[in-house]
Structure 1
Amino acid sequence: MIKIISEWIIPILVLLIPFYGIIKNVKVYELFVDGAKEGISVVVKIFPALVAMLVAIGVLRASGALDLLGKFLMPFTNKIGMPQELVPLALIRPLSGSGALGIATEIMKTHGVDSLIGKMASAMYGSTETTFYVLAVYYGAVGIKKMRHSVISGIFADIVAILSCVFYSRLFF
């Protein structure tokens, strides 16, 4: 039953929503076109922030700055029991989901998905957020310049998530 529902829910909604709009005398096509125009303008607004973020991530990885920062953090990560292989993932995740996914995939290929490091990487990837990416995209889309406490709150949440992943992965696995 669930399989049938999951296969048909999207096509039904695609037909049902415009049909409901027609019943309510809404100009469905015109509103759709207006929404598409607005979407294009949002893309144009946030594109520079996206490009800047992707370039910065590429520079960090290619220059070796990420590895250098990982070595600098090694005394702290050793004290909390965090394997050195996870440091690049913890550093890149607030910046880029796809960059972090690439690092997590490398960790899984090297250590295996069922290893302690693989499980920590999975938990870390799933419980942290692409904080800077989200702030750049969403705040850039609406034109907010002063982020106030958003950055600090987001980074604090990421740090708590990373520490929790290390602690609970060691506890349960």
Structure 2
Amino acid sequence: MLRNLCLISLVVLAASGCSTYSVNRYAVSVDNISSLKTMVNSKINVGDFNAAGESRTSITCRGVGPIKTPDGDSFESFIRKAFVDELKMAEAFDTDAPVTLTGTLDSIDFSSTSGSWDIAMTINSSNGESLSVSESYSFTSSFYGETACNQTAQALMPAVQNLIGKIVRDENFPELVKGT
């Protein structure tokens, strides 16, 4: 009997690992591309994006499991790749461009309880200009941890789309991309 109880305990422990919630791969926003095509008259390069604090590749959700980007990159790398994708689709990206934009992820966090992602970012231009934006993206959450964490992971991609939209539609964005 004791042996069976030990065996059952081992099986339960082995099967009770935590879940990992993967963010969807980034999909470009038609609105962001349209804005870029109408506002950007020259090509832009994108340099490094760094975190203001510790660079993170995951954030734990309710103790249920981590929320991670699709390729296990840091959150700032995920945002950088998304920004580059938007510029490429708008035909505004060029590694040899006279202006290079870099970014600092000032903060990123979420509440799976209230249903929001909060992201703050500063974009710096090689021409000396800079721009800071923040996005508080609301989404429907759940009382149940498994569901809430999955919904939180799925909400990061549209939150990043909105963040990039705020960057490219900001009235000071044209100053960032102006050649010196």
Provide the TM-score with structure 2 as the length reference. 0.30
Greater helix percent: which structure? 1
Larger radius of gyration: 1
TM-score, normalised with respect to structure 1? 0.31
More strand by share: 2
Tell me: higher relative CO, structure 1 or 2? Use CA pairs within 8 A at least 6 residues apart. 2
